[in-house]
């Protein structure tokens, strides 16, 4: 065995010595998640300590134990191209998969190709389908050799995948340098989240023992003179680092014999001497050395780029070919999955790159940029050219600013996370006095907002506004900054910015519509309505994009005001405007419609709007409107009584919103979570949720207080509920619907306290409120509270009609309970109420309905054991669609759920039925599984009631 071959071989081929304990521990950490929740297992250690080798051997062992390994290996160039490393890893899996999974892999590979000329597919949806299919069959390990080289968009995608709950685990296994190398911010955020949830196991690799170093290098020194002394020298100078040990062997055996002892002692394997050390390690001729430096600068060289490397190294074609073959033959250049050759190790590449003098490096980057720019443009090539330009750009460099900006725009089209770094690179060389500086800042602000980083978007946007002149661009930017301020619940700051821009004479319809939204939000209704009327008169003349943006702001204004009739008219106009709009504008339109309809209780219309939004989101892939969609889904699921789905969505979304600082959305989700947990009687969980801080947005705070007061009411802490509600009602700028909602709950508190007269007084003013000025939930709550306080059967009957019309499940039960308590057809109303509460698992309410039935001597519906019906109605619907060979995306569109929620349902279906996968489930349905379950669940009326005691 030659020394050079041993050093050049990949980590999987090198002997793994002295790491048996670490290999066993790492495999155990991963294996513990086989049938449990997804998690991450990390290797940490300094460069060259053997992380890659251990990871490779561990993954191989897991694969032998039945795991499916998706092995991601990326370098710095891959990090410039979103999803590049993951794409090659998935592509390499295709041959190991069955036909169904292979088809999903091919679909995912296409979706991950940002250089594709086709419209971008849903990256997250395609990834979820692929990894769900894999994890449904066996545990999956997603291995990243150097997690720090994963691009930010891949990290976001992995964070989403780790939240999946399938039959088996999805484990992220990776390595990271420590302590010197800085971990990218995206990876830090992912690890912080996983650490907070206790889902990270880490293994630190320390230096090898002297015995292990000897075991590693002795075979390489066989036959060398004074072998024992050489081993001792390697041990001394490697400090237990296996990579340095191997390099030391090359250094110390040059020429076939060791140098004098003094020379050995002078060898310092430190970063300061790394270039000198690795020059001796390469042991190639001057031509190959020069070509190696060129490849190190280019990072990747395919067959068509050897000529460019030769031009940089000033070699003739023949010299370059010979040098290239030499480097490949010695293993210094390795072929990657993408068909390009790279330097064998980052340390070697860094050493070669550092050998290039500063002036030469500048010239080579400039020449590489020029030559690559002559090739046909593509997104991936533009990013590569821009990277070279970035190294030579100077402030005011027109060409560099243009190229970096184009790279940023290309990346931003499908991967806003990646575009942020490029915009910042362009800003670094755009002089502050240059008009483009403000434009770049405004584009950066937009990218940050699309990437769901509102606080940073505000900072960049405010800087741009200082220099951006009046006009359409300034109006758009100001609107974006106001949007970001609203997301972080800074309504007063948003209003101040709106007022400042209005004072400058900004009158674009887009901005006036946003001003109407903000002014309504801070209680300046007259100003809001005046500006809304101005915008409405201009809507027919506006271009489609401006019309959609203006309509979305007007819809949010009417949403705050709760003019449901006018809001639905705006929804109709929005649907018309979206018909021929590009996908990004369709996404903005349909997400606004879903948000509005779900928030006002138009459950059936909201379900259809949510389905359309999911379809468009799958094509666009942006993150900005996912929050609108999540809020709509949670509110709609809550009202329809699909509480498990609502809580799953809250759990899946809240953490990202909190990390991003999107406090407005977070407040709405927290209110829904508290309300559901309280109505289920899950007191400890409801108490923890109610202790979360308020968002700062007045309307979201009111919803959160309303939900907390509901928990106090159900847990019989009436004083706490009363105090919360009265304090909130003291705020002078609350919209009418918010005040009505809070007063309704306060009246419920007073009824429970035995003071119906006071409750009637509180609700007296609500009876005459027009239905079109309140959302459906608040209208029912007001009628219900008044009916309970006064015994007004007509008010309760009206409330029941609205609750039935819009499938407001919990309120349907509550109104029937109130009617039955007033002895209005008590058996029918109370029995139906009990059944509704039972279906919701709303234990406190079910007990109340049963108590009313018993008090009247009426039969009480039997509380069915949860296993009496194998699957819930939604689960059965999903199962039958699987039987019809529908994909998860098709199922999601049919039942108006997200793909992720469908995947969660499938996990529960597999667990309940004992089926391992979709094929097993389809066969079980063919065999009559659901028919038997339905027969077991259907009984006569006598079986549904308990005997009266």
What's the CATH code of the domain at 82? 3.40.50.300
Percentage above 70 pLDDT, the chain: 85
**Closest to 921 (Cα-Cα) out of 888, 893, 897:** 888
- Whether 163 is covered by a domain: the verdict is yes
Residue 152 to residue 240: CA distance in whole angstroms: 33
Query: Which is more confidently placed, 730 or 125?
Result: 730
Is residue 559 over pLDDT 80?
yes
Is residue 5 over pLDDT 60?
no
3-state helix, strand, coil in the chain (%, to 5): 70, 5, 25
Q: 754 and 677 in one domain?
A: no
Tokens representing 107? 């679909």
Q: Which of 41-45, 164-168, 697-701, 708-712 has the lowest mean pLDDT?
A: 164-168
Is residue 890 over pLDDT 50?
yes
Residue 759 to residue 766: CA distance in whole angstroms: 12
Residue 942, pLDDT score? 33
Domain that holds residue 629: 567-640
Residue 765, pLDDT score? 87
Residue 601 to residue 610: CA distance in whole angstroms: 13
CA 745 to chain centre: 35
Instruction: Show the DSSP H helices in 522-642 as ranges.
Output: 525-538, 544-561, 564-578, 583-599, 603-620, 626-640
pLDDT tier at 866, thresholds 50, 70, 90: very low
What CATH number corresponds to the domain at position 806? 1.25.40
* Helix (H/G/I), strand (E/B), else coil: 138: coil
Is residue 407 over pLDDT 90?
no
Cβ-contact 745, 678 below 8 angstroms: no
Query: Which is more confidently placed, 195 or 871?
Result: 195
Nearest-5° Cα angle at 911, 917 to 879: 60
Rounded to an integer, the average pLDDT of 82-109 is 88
Name the domain boundary from 516, 540, 561.
Answer: 561
Query: Which residues, in sequence order, are CB contacts of 678 under 8 Å at separation 6+?
Result: 686, 707, 710, 711, 714, 715
Rounded to an integer, the average pLDDT of 666-695 is 91
Q: 928 and 851 in one domain?
A: no
Residue 516 to residue 36: CA distance in whole angstroms: 50
Q: Which residues pair with 141 in a beta bridge?
A: 69, 171
Name the domain boundary from 734, 769, 794.
Answer: 734
Residue 876, pLDDT score? 79
Q: 921 and 840 in one domain?
A: no
Is residue 283 over pLDDT 60?
yes
- Whether 45 is covered by a domain: the verdict is yes
User: Can you state the angle between helices 888-895 and 899-913, rounded to 10 degrees?
Assistant: 100
pLDDT tier at 803, thresholds 50, 70, 90: very high
Rounded to an integer, the average pLDDT of 819-843 is 94
Is residue 780 over pLDDT 90?
yes
Q: 750 and 839 in one domain?
A: yes
Is residue 9 over pLDDT 70?
no
Q: Tokens 């191989």, residue? A: 60
pLDDT tier at 831, thresholds 50, 70, 90: very high
Residue 486, pLDDT score? 92
Q: What does DSSP say about strands 200-204 and 333-335: parallel, antiparallel, or unpaired?
A: unpaired
Residue 314, pLDDT score? 93
Q: 817 and 891 in one domain?
A: no
Q: 704 and 636 in one domain?
A: no
Q: Which of 67-76, 342-351, 672-681 has the lowest mean pLDDT?
A: 342-351
Q: Most distant CA pair in the chain: distance in Å?
A: 106
Rounded to an integer, the average pLDDT of 519-538 is 93
Gap between the terminal Cα atoms of the chain: 89
Laid out side by side, the sheet with 68-73 consists of: 68-73, 140-145, 170-177, 39-45, 200-204
- Whether 779 is covered by a domain: the verdict is yes
Q: 181 and 53 in one domain?
A: yes
Residue 943, pLDDT score? 34
> Tell me: the pLDDT tens digits for 592-646?
999 999 999 999 999 999 988 888 877 776 666 778 888 999 999 999 999 988 9
pLDDT tier at 945, thresholds 50, 70, 90: very low
Residue 37, pLDDT score? 65
- Whether 795 is covered by a domain: the verdict is yes
Q: Tokens 């996908």, residue? A: 583
Q: Which of 144-148, 342-346, 363-367 has the lowest mean pLDDT?
A: 342-346
Rounded to an integer, the average pLDDT of 803-814 is 95
Residue 812 to residue 819: CA distance in whole angstroms: 11
Q: 156 and 187 in one domain?
A: yes
Query: Which is more confidently placed, 925 or 116?
Result: 925
What Rg, from alpha-carbon coordinates, does the chain have? 33
Residue 275, pLDDT score? 55
SS3 sequence of 457-471: HHHHHHHHHHHCCCC
Tokens representing 428? 């670094």
Residue 833, pLDDT score? 95
Cβ-contact 800, 806 below 8 angstroms: no
Rounded to an integer, the average pLDDT of 726-748 is 91
Q: Which of 61-65, 746-750, 866-870 has the lowest mean pLDDT?
A: 866-870
The enclosing H or E element of 861 equals strand 860-861
> Tell me: the pLDDT tens digits for 743-753?
999 999 999 99
Residue 541, pLDDT score? 92
Highest averaged pLDDT of the listed ranges 69-78, 279-288, 363-372: 363-372
Tokens representing 355? 């050998």
Q: 601 and 479 in one domain?
A: no
Domains in the chain: how many in total?
A: 6
- Whether 341 is covered by a domain: the verdict is no
Name the domain boundary from 598, 620, 640.
Answer: 640
What CATH number corresponds to the domain at position 903? 1.10.10.10
Q: 171 and 73 in one domain?
A: yes
pLDDT tier at 819, thresholds 50, 70, 90: very high
Q: 762 and 686 in one domain?
A: no
Half-sphere exposure of 765 (CA within 13 A, CB side): 8
- Whether 713 is covered by a domain: the verdict is yes
Is residue 394 over pLDDT 50?
yes
pLDDT tier at 165, thresholds 50, 70, 90: low
> Tell me: the pLDDT tens digits for 224-275?
544 566 777 777 667 787 877 776 676 555 444 444 343 444 443 344 455 5
Query: Which is more confidently placed, 900 or 567?
Result: 567
The overall average pLDDT reported for the chain is 83
- Whether 82 is covered by a domain: the verdict is yes
- Whether 770 is covered by a domain: the verdict is yes
Q: What does DSSP say about strands 333-335 and 341-343: parallel, antiparallel, or unpaired?
A: antiparallel
Q: What is the pTM of this model?
A: 0.70
Residue 452, pLDDT score? 83
Residue 867, pLDDT score? 42
Residue 624, pLDDT score? 64
Residue 864, pLDDT score? 54
Q: 773 and 814 in one domain?
A: yes
Is residue 802 over pLDDT 70?
yes
**Closest to 405 (Cα-Cα) out of 441, 376, 364:** 441
Residue 611 to residue 621: CA distance in whole angstroms: 15
Query: Which is more confidently placed, 571 or 339?
Result: 571
């Amino acid at each position: 065995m030659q020394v050079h071959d041993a050093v050049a071989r990949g980590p999987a081929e090198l002997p793994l010595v002295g790491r048996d304990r670490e290999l066993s521990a790492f495999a155990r950490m991963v294996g513990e998640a086989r049938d449990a929740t997804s998690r991450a297992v990390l290797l940490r250690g300094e460069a060259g300590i053997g992380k890659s080798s251990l990871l490779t051997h561990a993954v191989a062992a897991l694969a032998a134990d039945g795991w499916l390994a998706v092995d991601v290996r990326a370098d710095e160039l891959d990090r410039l191209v979103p999803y590049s490393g993951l794409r090659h890893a998935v592509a390499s899996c295709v041959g190991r998969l069955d036909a169904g999974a292979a088809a999903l892999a091919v679909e995912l590979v296409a979706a991950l190709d940002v250089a594709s000329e086709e419209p971008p597919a849903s990256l997250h949806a395609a990834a979820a389908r692929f990894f769900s299919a894999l994890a449904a069959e066996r545990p999956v390990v997603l291995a990243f050799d150097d997690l720090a080289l994963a691009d930010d968009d891949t990290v976001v995608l992995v964070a989403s995948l780790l939240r999946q709950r399938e039959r088996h685990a999805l484990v992220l296994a990776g390595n990271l340098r420590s302590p010197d190398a800085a971990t990218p911010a995206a990876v830090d955020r992912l690890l912080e989240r996983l650490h907070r949830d206790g889902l990270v196991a880490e293994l630190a690799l320390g230096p090898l023992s002297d015995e292990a170093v000897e075991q590693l290098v002795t075979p390489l020194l066989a036959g060398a003179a004074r072998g024992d002394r050489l081993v001792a020298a390697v041990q001394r100078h490697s400090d237990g680092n296996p990579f340095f040990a191997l390099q030391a062997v090359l250094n110390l055996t040059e020429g076939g014999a060791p140098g004098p002892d003094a020379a050995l002692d002078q060898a310092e394997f430190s970063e300061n001497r790394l270039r000198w050390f690795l020059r001796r390690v390469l042991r190639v001729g001057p031509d190959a050395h020069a070509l190696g430096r060129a490849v190190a600068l280019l990072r990747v060289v395919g067959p068509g780029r050897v000529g460019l490397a030769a031009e940089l190294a000033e070699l003739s074609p023949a010299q370059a070919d010979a040098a290239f073959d030499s480097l490949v033959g010695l293993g210094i250049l390795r072929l990657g999955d993408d068909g390009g050759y790279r330097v064998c190790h980052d340390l070697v590449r860094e050493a070669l790159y550092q050998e290039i003098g500063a002036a030469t490096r500048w010239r080579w980057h400039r020449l590489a940029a020029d030559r690559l720019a002559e090739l046909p443009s593509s997104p991936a090539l533009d990013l590569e050219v821009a990277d070279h330009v970035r190294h030579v750009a100077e402030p005011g460099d027109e060409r560099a600013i243009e190229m970096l900006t184009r790279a940023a725009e290309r990346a931003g089209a499908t991967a806003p996370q990646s575009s942020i770094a490029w915009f910042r690179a362009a800003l670094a060389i755009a002089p502050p006095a240059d008009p483009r500086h403000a434009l770049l800042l405004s584009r950066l602000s937009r990218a940050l907002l699309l990437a769901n980083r509102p606080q940073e978007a505000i900072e960049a946007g405010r800087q741009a506004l200082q220099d951006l002149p009046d006009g359409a661009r300034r109006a758009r930017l100001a609107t974006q900054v106001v949007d970001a301020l609203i997301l972080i619940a800074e309504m007063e700051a948003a209003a101040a910015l709106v007022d400042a821009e209005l004072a400058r004479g900004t009158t674009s319809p887009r901005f006036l519509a946003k001003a109407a939204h903000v002014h309504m939000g801070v209680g300046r209704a007259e100003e809001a309505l005046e500006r809304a009327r101005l915008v409405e008169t201009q809507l027919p003349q506006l271009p489609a994009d401006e019309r959609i943006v203006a309509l979305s702001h007007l819809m949010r204004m009417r949403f705050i005001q709760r003019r449901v009739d006018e809001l639905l008219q705006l929804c109709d106009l929005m649907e018309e405007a979206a018909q021929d709009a590009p996908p990004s504008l369709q996404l903005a339109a349909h997400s606004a419609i879903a948000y509005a309809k779900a928030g006002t209780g138009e459950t059936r219309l909201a379900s259809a709007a949510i389905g359309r939004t999911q379809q468009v989101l799958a094509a666009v892939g942006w993150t900005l409107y996912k929050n609108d969609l999540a809020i709509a889904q949670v509110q709609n699921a809550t009202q329809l009584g699909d509480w498990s789905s609502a809580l799953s969505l809250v759990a899946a979304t809240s953490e990202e919103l909190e990390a991003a600082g999107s406090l407005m959305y977070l407040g709405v989700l927290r209110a829904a979570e508290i309300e559901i947990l309280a109505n289920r009687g899950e007191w400890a969980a409801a108490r923890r949720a109610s202790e979360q801080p308020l968002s700062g947005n007045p309307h979201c705070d009111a919803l959160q207080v309303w939900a907390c007061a509901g928990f106090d009411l159900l847990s019989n802490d009436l004083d706490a509920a009363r105090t919360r509600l009265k304090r909130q009602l003291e705020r002078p700028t609350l919209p009418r619907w918010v005040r009505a909602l809070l007063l309704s709950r306060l009246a419920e508190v007073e009824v429970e306290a035995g003071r119906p007269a006071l409750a009637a007084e509180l609700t007296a003013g609500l009876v005459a409120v027009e239905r079109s000025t309140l959302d459906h939930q608040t209208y029912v709550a007001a009628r219900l509270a008044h009916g309970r306080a006064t015994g007004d059967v007509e008010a309760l009957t009206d409330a029941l009609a609205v609750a039935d019309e819009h499938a407001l499940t919990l309120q349907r039960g509550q109104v029937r309970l109130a009617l039955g308590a007033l002895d209005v057809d008590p058996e029918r109303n109370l029995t139906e109420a009990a059944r509704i509460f039972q279906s919701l698992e709303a234990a406190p309410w079910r007990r109340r309905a049963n108590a009313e039935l018993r008090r009247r001597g009426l039969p009480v519906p039997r509380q069915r054991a949860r296993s009496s019906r194998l699957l819930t109605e939604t689960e059965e619907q999903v199962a039958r669609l699987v039987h019809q060979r529908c994909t998860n995306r098709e199922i999601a569109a049919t039942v108006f759920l997200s793909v992720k929620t469908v995947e969660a349902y499938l996990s529960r279906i597999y667990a309940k039925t004992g089926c391992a996968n979709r094929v097993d489930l389809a066969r079980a349905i063919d065999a009559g599984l659901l028919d038997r379950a339905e027969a077991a669940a259907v009984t006569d009326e006598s079986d549904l009631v308990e005997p009266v005691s």
